[in-house]
């Protein structure tokens, strides 16, 4: 059964434009209006999202996603988690806690920052059930099963989790993949990869570093995400070979 993968948001931590209207080098175009990084997977009637950005409500409405079964978290930074509160209607709709998945460290951080999602606070019921992931795990709904591989990547001073679903890898926040873990990135149909800026950054791949990893791993297609305001969609697209494309919000493909 095919998977439909959608990039809900491909912007860096402040999105573009910023709340101040600052847009850096970006031409005015819907392709350069970027919400915070987040993705969605649909397999049959199973609906799973990766991270809950601060823009998640708008992202779900725009992409007409009406159901949600589970959430996979890459790490605890606010641009990947602050929309967690918006998930409450799915708890009501599903009539059960929403299962979430993440590394031990990510789950601990989420429980600390968003305590009310996991334990009853002031009479409000918890809406989530936390699951600490192994190297591989699966999410099931009736006869549909999504198999996921997970491994840790460097993201500045913390580790974030890279996920592989079928032949699609999602590494939205990453500045290094260890030699040991590069093997997970071989034979991919799609590599969705952090590419923050032209300049180097302590927590994210820049353009040269992202292209280097793509060159080593040779996916059929690569999609650059977590794009900052110095990376205009059109200028970037012109520079890239055909099998590498800049992400834009709402970009989707089936695999």
Span from 16-24, 115-123, 172-180, 228-236 in contact with Zn ion (CB under 5 A) = 172-180
Number of residues that bind Zn ion (CB under 5 A): 2
Choice from 51, 173, 209, 249 touching Zn ion (CB under 5 A): 173
Report 73-92 residues binding Zn ion (CB under 5 A).
77
171-208 burial string, b = 16+ CB within 10 Å, else e?
bbbbbebeeeeeebbeebebbbbbbbbeeebebbbbbe
d(CA 80, CA 60): 15
Least separation, in Å, of the C-beta of 136 and Zn ion? 23
d(CA 4, CA 44): 9
Q: Is 34 in the site for Zn ion (CB under 5 A)?
A: no
Least separation, in Å, of the C-beta of 238 and Zn ion? 28
Of 42 and 175, which has the nearer Cβ to Zn ion?
Answer: 175
Residue pair 129/90 in contact by the 8 Å Cβ criterion: no
What angle is formed at CA 219 by the lines to CA 185 and CA 217, rounded to 5 degrees?
50
Q: 10: helix, coil or strand?
A: coil
Span from 51-59, 91-99, 167-175, 183-191 in contact with Zn ion (CB under 5 A) = 167-175
Residues that bind Zn ion (CB under 5 A): 77, 173
């Amino acid at each position: 059964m095919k998977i439909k993968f959608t990039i809900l948001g491909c912007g860096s931590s402040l999105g573009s434009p910023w709340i101040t209207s600052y847009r850096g080098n970006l031409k005015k175009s819907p392709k350069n209006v970027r919400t915070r990084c987040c993705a969605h997977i649909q397999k049959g009637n199973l609906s799973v999202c990766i991270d809950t950005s601060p823009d998640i409500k708008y992202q779900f409405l725009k992409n007409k996603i009406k159901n949600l079964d589970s959430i996979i978290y890459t790490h605890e930074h606010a641009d990947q988690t602050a929309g967690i509160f918006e998930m409450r209607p799915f708890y009501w709709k599903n009539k059960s806690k929403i299962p979430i998945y993440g590394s031990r460290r990510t789950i601990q951080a989420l429980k600390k920052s968003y305590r009310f999602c996991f334990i009853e606070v002031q009479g409000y019921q918890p809406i989530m059930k936390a699951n600490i992931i192994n190297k591989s795990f699966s999410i099931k709904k009736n006869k549909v099963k999504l198999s996921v591989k997970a491994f840790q990547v460097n993201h500045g001073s913390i580790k974030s989790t890279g996920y592989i679903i079928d032949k699609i890898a999602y590494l939205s926040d990453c500045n290094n993949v260890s030699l040991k873990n590069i093997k997970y990135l071989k034979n991919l149909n799609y590599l969705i990869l952090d590419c923050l800026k032209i300049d180097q950054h302590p927590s994210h791949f820049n353009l040269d570093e992202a292209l280097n990893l793509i060159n080593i791993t040779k996916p059929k297609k690569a999609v650059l995400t977590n794009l900052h305001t110095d990376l205009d969609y059109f200028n970037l697209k012109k520079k890239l070979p055909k099998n590498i494309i800049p992400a834009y919000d709402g970009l989707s493909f089936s695999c």
